[in-house]
Amino acid sequence: MIENLSVIRDKGYRALMRELGAAGTVVFLRQFDNGNGNYTEDRRAMLEENSVETIAERIRKRSVQQVQQA
């Protein structure tokens, strides 16, 4: 049977402390962040703003600028 989340969390912290020590546990846990915002909405907006055509046009403009600067 799956244990409740607080028991699993407690066992996880104890395992980290045992294997990594206090400082290592802190370093390990600081890697994880719940983040903020809505990834799905943000991604959709980014993809709408950056269609293949838009990206291709940016590349063409940048290429022309580089040739002009050379």
pLDDT at position 6 over 70: yes
Segment 10-51, tens digit of pLDDT? 999 999 999 999 999 999 999 987 778 898 998 888 888 788
pLDDT at residue 49, rounded to an integer: 79
For 34, the token pair is 């719940």
DSSP 3: P
Measured between alpha carbons, how far is 23 from 17 in angstroms, rounded to an integer? 9
Q: Label residues 45-56 b or e (16+ Cβ within 10 Å = b).
A: eeeeeeeeeeee
- At 9, the pLDDT band (50, 70, 90 cuts) reads very high
26 and 17 Cβ atoms separated by less than 8 Å: no
pLDDT at position 1 over 70: no
